[in-house]
Structure 1
Amino acid sequence: MAADIVFLNGEVITVDHKNNVEQSIAIKGNKIIAVGSNQVTSSYITEKTKVIDLQGKTVLPGFIDSHLHILHGTNKLGVDCKELQIKSIKDLLQALKAKKLETPTGQWIRASGFNEMTILEGRYPTIDELNEISKEHPIYISRTCNHICVVNSKALEIAGINENTTDYENDQIERDQTGNLTGRLIESTNMKMAEVAKYSGEELLRSFKLASDEFLSFGITSIHDAGGHGPDHFRNIFLAVQSGEVRVRVYAMICSLNNSEEFIDKMIDAGIVTGIGDDKFRVGPAKIFTDGSSSGPTIATRKPYTSNPNDYGILYYTQEEIDKILTKAHQKGYQITAHAQGDRAIEMVLNSIESLQKRYPRKNCRHRIEHAGITEPDLQERMKKLDVIPIPNPPFFYEFGECYIKNYGKRVDHMYPLRDFLNQKIIAAAGSDCPVTSCNPLLGIHVAVNRKSKNGINVGRNQRISVLEAIRMYTWNGAYASFEEERKGSLEVGKLADLVVLDNSLLNAEDQNIKDLTVTMTIVDGEILFERSTSKYENIKQ
């Protein structure tokens, strides 16, 4: 059998059950046909075979980001505070003014990735500052966590929020000392505003392509999309995959940033269930939000925040409400999951899973908990007993490490506890939660190995893991979390040809330099879809 592509003289990290590292790999069509020494693959080489000499560079299974938002692409349509390196309120206001000049009157001016903790003034822009930019354009600025926003008066008017609006349960509409709205909206009210300010279907499709191209440039071949604005978002992802605009594989969670339970009910009524689809697009778990943002901070904790003895965070639902939503989905055969960051929220989700498994037992459910932020030993034991898959976010420490120490103190020692998960034999799959942080898996692996912030501060160093352990969380474990470990997640004969080539050896890199490695080639289904050139990145077969 003649191979289409053969890689020779490499560091082929297979992530098989023995963690074998081989020298060569051969691909035909969309499948891997040989893995081993140069001698093993040489018999597959003909004059038609594309032969690539790796010269010791690393080949890996395509990275699987088990929790991100393809809505990340919309950041590129507005003011991206991270990409523009916004460092002050003045910088932000200038960028918004520039965006106003290209935005028709009455249409939204949006900004994303804002972080008051890294801004010179250490605050949010005021509603008056935003109104000075425009009273005719609605302005929406999303904090980096996407759980808090600040808006101008026009945006509040469109959303129907005014001084007489009564805060909904679990919502927070910030007011100043005189009762006037500040424009800052938190958690559920933020989610409502995000839906009001959402992009059009045409804009979404364009943004999805931008996101997909960026994912490929970082070696991501599969994503678990963590939701957007309900059925429209879900449908548009499918259409983008079908049209070829999105070229990464998608495992799409049934989740809406606002009223997710309504979306879940609609999908249940339609008879759609986890697993429906193909290798390009597959229906994922039913997902709800239970608490807030780890960096907000608004997560629900069992003990008060170290930074505020009166603050225990925010819960979206009561225990009874969580039970009702998740039990219905479980009964109908869904994989279920929940955004749960704080230990109080995690405990409530585990309570629900334990209860429904007793009443309606199912095998191989692979129920998940997204983020699983503060997971202390008692919660780990329950996860193991219930075969729950946590989806931690290693790169969060790089950007928010100091914030975590300030708000949670010693609890950072059990925050996204990768070493504990491994010791407990809990299968954890890693995700970036992009656009909250960079989607670069090499950064995630770097932080999992080092547990340091970008300023070099140690954050729960007891939870460090090895490079090979971190790679598995970004590959095979991600495939397991979507019931696809027999199809992808490792470089083995018969599996899908999803591969990543790095610019150097990953196993020989110094721990502190892992984040500096780059992806030079990404292959999905046997096709080279990304190959780095002298430009920022080049995508093949546009």
Structure 2
Amino acid sequence: MSQESGLRVIIGGTLIDGTGRPPVKESAVLIRDCRIAAVGKRDGFLIPDGSEVIDASGKTIMPGLIDAHTHFLSMGIRMIREVDLANTRSLSEAVAKVRARVAQAEPGEWVLGRGWDDSKWIERRFINRDDLDDFSRDNPIMLTRICGHLITLNSRALEIAGITKTTEDPPGGEVEKGPDGKPTGILKDARQLVSSYIPPISKETSIEGLSRACDYALSLGCTGIHDAGIGG
């Protein structure tokens, strides 16, 4: 057989083909120009000359997954713009991650974070501005709780947004204030008081974010998505 370019054969894995038929053990899958051309049992399967052969013994081969509800573009943008606080085990760990980002930021640059969950922290309390102010005098900070309804601002961000002890609660929201009447930095369903002061997302960031989101999805075996946040 003459050699062909763009050929790849995956052999030895257990194949689930998506048709409902029983899995095929010791399978072979021929891929030609990024498309599946043939499947079958490894024994007796003709491997074309010039094929790249991948041994998948002990692994499972299946069609790519499709996620029917994602916020795909925004996820990719967050991977660039925000500190990931989702898996932090304590308030101090979350603060340390934010501190590290601030150390890399330009003076005056906004530092954003997302995903913190106080119910999983040993401290069992929200982050407030006092946790952030000692290392962020020049950088405004906004950290979004995992629920998306609560944010924490440092004093610089409060100053930029004009949030003071006289700021009234917006409809349906709350600007939390301490015993001294000053804002603690915690805003509940009141993001609109600060969101307009955060720099808009650039086209370049959107493009890079989409690329990162695609790479991440593919690493999980997801080859198709529906973005619930676009066009709505």
Q: Same fold (TM over 0.5)?
A: yes
- Supply the distance in 2 between the matched residues of 1:204 and 1:192 (Cα, whole angstroms): 24
Q: Is the 8 A contact 1:6 1:27 kept in 2?
A: yes
Is 1:31 aligned to residue 32 of structure 2? no
In structure 2, list runs of 5 or more residues that go unmatched. Answer: none
Q: Is the 8 A contact 1:140 1:197 kept in 2?
A: no
Pairs within 5 Å for 1:8-19: 8-16=11-19, 18-19=20-21
Corresponding residue for residue 191 of structure 2: 190
Query: What are the superposed Cα offsets for residues 105-143 of structure 1, whole Å, 9 maximum, x if unpaired?
Result: 211122222111122211112223323333432111121
Paired AA for residue 184 in structure 1: I
Q: Is the 8 A contact 1:96 1:133 kept in 2?
A: no
Pairs within 5 Å for 1:166-205: 166-176=168-178, 179-187=181-189, 189-190=190-191, 193=194, 196-197=197-198, 200-201=201-202, 202-205=204-207
- Supply the distance in 2 between the matched residues of 1:50 and 1:65 (Cα, whole angstroms): 30
Is 1:72 aligned to residue 75 of structure 2? yes
In structure 1, list runs of 5 or more residues that go unmatched. Answer: 228-252, 255-285, 287-542
CA root-mean-square deviation: 3.1
**Which among 98, 116, 122 is matched to residue 120 of structure 1?**
122
Pairs within 5 Å for 1:14-163: 14-16=17-19, 18-22=20-24, 23-38=27-42, 42-43=45-46, 45-70=47-72, 71-73=74-76, 74-75=78-79, 77-82=81-86, 86-163=88-165
**Which among 225, 228, 238 is matched to residue 227 of structure 2?**
225
- Supply the distance in 1 between the matched residues of 2:81 and 2:208 (Cα, whole angstroms): 9
Which structure dedicates a bigger proportion of its chain to helix? 1
- Supply the distance in 2 between the matched residues of 1:63 and 1:191 (Cα, whole angstroms): 36
Q: Is the 8 A contact 1:147 1:191 kept in 2?
A: no
1:66 to partner: Cα distance: 2.8
Tell me: higher relative CO, structure 1 or 2? Use CA pairs within 8 A at least 6 residues apart: 2
TM-score (norm 2): 0.77
Q: Is the 8 A contact 2:80 2:205 kept in 1?
A: no
Pairs within 5 Å for 1:433-448: none
What is the aligned length? Answer: 224
Query: What are the superposed Cα offsets for residues 244-288 of structure 1, whole Å, 9 maximum, x if unpaired?
Result: xxxxxxxxx32xxxxxxxxxxxxxxxxxxxxxxxxxxxxxxx3xx
Bigger CA radius of gyration: 2
Query: What are the superposed Cα offsets for residues 339-388 of structure 1, whole Å, 9 maximum, x if unpaired?
Result: xxxxxxxxxxxxxxxxxxxxxxxxxxxxxxxxxxxxxxxxxxxxxxxxxx
Pairs within 5 Å for 1:459-498: none
1:195 to partner: Cα distance: 6.2
1:99 to partner: Cα distance: 2.5
Q: Secondary structure at the match of 2:36?
A: strand
Q: Secondary structure at the match of 1:110?
A: strand
Query: What are the superposed Cα offsets for residues 216-241 of structure 1, whole Å, 9 maximum, x if unpaired?
Result: 222222233343xxxxxxxxxxxxxx
Which structure dedicates a bigger proportion of its chain to strand? 2
- Supply the distance in 2 between the matched residues of 1:110 and 1:91 (Cα, whole angstroms): 16
Corresponding residue for residue 216 of structure 1: 218
